[in-house]
């Protein structure tokens, strides 16, 4: 009860303090006041959840796990700039703390990369920092959280709210946690989800002379441009309603907010690119069917921008579990995907029309040996991306991963993806789990 009263007093004091400051500093614009109120809402919800959790007699359960990795990459081609280096040596630290008590769960997941050679990749981030409440049919999450919308990862057309952290790798699709509050309600075979982001965390790009630049010139990430006066404080909202019948799942979704990937405007005076984000609304339809080892998945979207421009997109995939054909401990999966993004095509951006092949093979042995391969081909460019990694456990607590990423095909210097030809690399990672 002491903890309960302390939280209440803290919230009352904070609420009173904010009200006084809001009256005193009338120069604060509406967007900042809106953010303050949103933070108060998240804090008050956390306070309420903590109060109810403390009233439970059951003891909570604590889960703690993490990993420490040494990650090395070697780029076998000459760099685009003389000042760029051909090697990266990083220490990766990640952890996850969970506290579960009754119907409540608290999650903390930091992410740290310290690069000894490519200093622009060094960063500290919080992937997850949220509280979760669940009942029979209702789930509520509030705080900084990673979440996935849609049926695909990477080039998903529907998964638009969680932006990418390109400081990790150009094609790794590592996500950033986003400040949000979301609700999910299930009634029989129908589900309804609502996601609200009071603040916008944009894509993180490498800068300076980092090897992982997206273009010959760096992106000025400190001065992004927005077509809304609210800038990064514009609320991003997504509503999704779905149903599942036997082996088929259908989801209808709506999104309003900023587009997933910004446009780039070159600033000759600074020799840099500026990011430009557009407000848009998007309707989406997702469909997934499983039948005798086959999985058919599709996403269809229709986007409308503030400029009244309208675009559509289609992402379809056919996957098959090859291990269904034989008996054994090993598993083998292959899938073929097709992506058509009208916005990218009409704006002259790369990756407008793509073909993706994914292959996963697990030996099923005690060391969990796994081979993953991805071939990415884009119709609007004349080359292919290949990503291959082999992972194997060593001494149960260690995992060894050999990785390779390269391109094939002729690339002209005028090609918008010319810089990616210099990101062909071979790597090795040793990860210790604790």
Work out the pLDDT band at 19, boundaries 50, 70, 90.
Answer: very low
CB 409 within 8 A of CB 386: no
Q: Which two tokens stand for residue 359?
A: 């292959």
Half-sphere exposure of 409 (CA within 13 A, CB side): 19
- The secondary structure of residue 161, as a DSSP letter, is S
Residue 53: per-residue pLDDT? 47
Confidence of residue 383 (pLDDT cuts 50, 70, 90): low
Name the fold adopted by 56-433: Porin (2.40.160)
pLDDT of 380 strictly over 80: no
Mean pLDDT of 31-35: 45
CB 250 within 8 A of CB 286: yes
The yes-or-no verdict on residue 56 having pLDDT over 70 is no
What mean pLDDT do residues 291-308 have?
92
Instruction: Kindly tell me if the per-residue pLDDT of 27 is higher than 60.
Output: no
In this predicted structure, the answer to whether residue 347 has a pLDDT above a threshold of 50 is yes
Model confidence band, residue 421 (pLDDT cutoffs 50, 70, 90): low
Tally of helices (H runs) and strands (E runs) in the chain? 3, 21
Delimit the domains of the chain by residue range: 1-55, 56-433
Whether 279 has a pLDDT exceeding 90, the answer reads yes
Rounded Cα–Cα distance for residues 416 and 63 (Å): 46
Give the tens place of pLDDT for each residue, 91-120. Answer: 999 999 999 998 999 999 999 999 998 888
More confident residue, 224 or 299: 299
Strand partners, 407: 385
> Looking at the predicted structure, is the pLDDT value of residue 217 above 90?
no
pLDDT band at 409 (very low <50, low <70, confident <90, very high): low
Given a cut of 60, is residue 20 above it in pLDDT?
no
Nearest to 411 by CA among 397, 422, 398: 422
pLDDT at 249: 96
Contact 401, 393 (CB under 8 A): no
40 vs 255, more confident? 255
DSSP bridge pairs for 371: 361, 390
| pLDDT at residue 263, as a whole number | 82
Q: What is the mean pLDDT of residues 338-345?
A: 90
pLDDT at position 335: 93
Strand partners, 254: 239, 283
Q: What is the mean pLDDT of residues 357-375?
A: 87
In this prediction the pTM is 0.80
Kindly give the pairing relationship between strand 370-378 and strand 384-394: antiparallel
HEC string for 201-222: CCCECCCCCCCCCCCCCCEEEE
Q: Are 128 and 148 in contact (CB under 8 A)?
A: no
Percent over 90 (pLDDT), the chain? 35
Residue 329 pLDDT > 50:
yes
Say if residue 158's pLDDT is above 60. Answer: yes
Check if the beta carbon of residue 399 is closer than 8 Å to that of residue 393: yes
Residue whose C-alpha is closest to residue 203's, from 219, 188, 191: 219
* pLDDT the model gives residue 266: 78
For 285, the 3-state DSSP assignment is strand
Angle among Cα 243, 318, 147 to the nearest 5 degrees reads 50
- Counting every residue written for the chain, the total comes to 434
Stretch 115-129: mean pLDDT: 88
Burial class (CB in 10 A: 0-12, 13-18, 19+), 269: exposed
Among the residue ranges 41-55, 259-273, 384-398, the one predicted with the least confidence is: 41-55
pLDDT at 317 over 60: yes
Query: Residue 14 has what DSSP assignment?
Result: H
Please state which of the ranges 14-23, 392-401, 419-428 shows the lowest mean pLDDT. Answer: 14-23
Mean pLDDT for 364-390 is 80
């Amino acid at each position: 009860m002491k903890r309960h009263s302390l939280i209440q007093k803290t919230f009352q004091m904070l609420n009173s303090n904010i009200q006084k400051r809001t009256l005193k500093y009338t120069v604060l614009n509406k967007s900042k006041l809106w953010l303050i109120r949103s933070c108060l809402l998240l804090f008050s919800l956390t306070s309420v959840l903590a109060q109810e959790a403390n009233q439970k007699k059951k003891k909570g359960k604590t889960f703690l796990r993490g990993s420490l990795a040494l990650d090395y990459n070697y780029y076998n081609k000459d760099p685009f700039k003389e000042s760029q280096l051909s090697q990266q040596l990083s220490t990766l630290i990640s952890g996850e703390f969970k506290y579960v008590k009754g119907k409540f769960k608290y999650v903390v997941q930091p992410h740290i990369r310290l690069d000894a050679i490519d200093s622009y990749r060094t960063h500290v981030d919080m992937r997850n920092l949220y509280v979760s409440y669940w009942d029979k049919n209702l789930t509520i999450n509030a705080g900084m959280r990673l979440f996935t919308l849609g049926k695909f990862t990477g080039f998903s057309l529907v998964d638009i709210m969680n932006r990418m952290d390109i400081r990790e790798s150009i094609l790794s699709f590592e996500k950033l946690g986003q400040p949000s509050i979301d609700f999910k309600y299930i009634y029989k075979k129908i589900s309804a989800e609502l996601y609200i982001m009071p603040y916008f965390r944009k894509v993180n790009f490498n800068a300076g002379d980092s090897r992982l630049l997206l273009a010959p010139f760096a992106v000025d990430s400190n001065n992004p441009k927005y077509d809304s006066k609210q800038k990064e404080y514009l609320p991003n909202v997504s509503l999704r309603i779905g149903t599942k019948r036997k082996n088929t799942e259908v989801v209808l979704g709506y999104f309003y907010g900023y587009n997933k990937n910004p446009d780039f405007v070159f600033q000759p005076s600074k020799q840099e690119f500026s990011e430009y984000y557009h407000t848009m609304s998007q309707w989406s339809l997702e469909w997934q069917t499983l039948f005798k080892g086959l999985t058919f998945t599709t996403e269809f979207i229709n986007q409308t921008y503030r400029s009244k421009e309208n675009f559509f997109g289609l992402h379809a995939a056919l996957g098959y579990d090859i291990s269904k054909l034989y008996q054994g401990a090993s598993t083998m999966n292959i899938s073929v995907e097709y992506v058509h993004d009208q916005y990218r095509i009409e704006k002259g951006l790369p990756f407008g029309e793509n073909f993706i092949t994914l292959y996963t093979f697990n030996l099923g042995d005690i060391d969990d040996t796994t081979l993953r391969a991805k071939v990415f081909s884009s119709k609007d460019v004349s080359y292919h991306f290949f990503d291959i990694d082999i992972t194997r456990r060593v001494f149960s607590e260690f995992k060894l991963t050999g990785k390779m990423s390269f391109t094939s095909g002729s690339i002209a210097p005028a090609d918008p993806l010319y810089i990616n030809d210099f990101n062909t690399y071979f790597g090795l990672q040793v990860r210790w789990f604790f």
